[in-house]
Amino acid sequence: MQTKRGDTAQTNTVVDTMLDAVGPRLRDLRKRRGLKLSDVADATGLSSSTLSRLESGHRRPTLDVLIPLAQVYRVALDEMVGAPPTGDPRIHPKPIRRNGWIYLPLTRDAAPVQAFKVVIPAKRAGRDVRLATHGGYEWFYVLNGSVDLTLGGEVTTLTEGEAAEFDTRQPHSITNAAGVPAEILSLFSPQGEQIHIRDS
């Protein structure tokens, strides 16, 4: 099949437009993750100056730089370059396991608020409650079982069908309140997702 010259020119224009938008997209992803250029440079092996030129549009992105950036920012390549949607709205989550907890992503990585179904292991006697503090907000809904929300100096037990929302600048922790696994639906700000899931 012969390709018309006009079709090729139109395709090149679309590709150029997509690539021109990559720089601002990279900057936005980095800032939403709360990372400095030096942090990304350490994680990818790319220099800070290369990253700066990519973000400002002074360097054309290539696969060899986009692939490690996609891994650090946890986004698919097509989302990073703004490829046209395929029409399939389904999300194909992969479980993330951290310290016995299982996080099942329910939103795409680039979403401004991250939703997860979380399976919290059964309560273990003698385990210390570790409080976290960071910017942002967190919301969760108990699907099964019961959990203890430690917020500041108070502990609130929530059971199936109950929800809580709180400012994560307060020292907080969510733990299982019973001897069987609990399941919650949780919404994290980008800071909360980084702290609880990626850095735990």
Using left for φ > 0, alpha for ψ between -120 and 50, and beta otherwise, residue 15 falls in: alpha
Structure tokens belonging to residue 77? 């390549």
Higher pLDDT, 13 or 130: 130
d(CA 151, CA 119) in angstroms, rounded, equals 20
When pLDDT is averaged across residues 83-98 and rounded to a whole number, the result is 71
Who wins on pLDDT, 48 or 108? 48
Q: Which residue did the predictor score with more confidence, 184 or 98?
A: 184
Enumerate domains of the chain plus CATH numbers. Answer: 5-81 (1.10.260.40), 96-198 (2.60.120.10)
Exposed e or buried b per residue across 112-140, where buried means at least 16 C-beta atoms within 10 angstroms of its C-beta: eebbbbbbbeebeeeeeeeebebebebbb
pLDDT at residue 171 is higher than 80: yes
Position 11 confidence tier, pLDDT thresholds 50, 70, 90: very low
Q: pLDDT value at position 1?
A: 45
CA distance 58 to 37: 16
The whole-number pLDDT of residue 135 equals 76
**Quick one: what percent of the chain has pLDDT higher than 90?**
27
Coil vs helix vs strand at 80:
helix
pLDDT, residue 175, reads 92
pTM of the model: 0.56
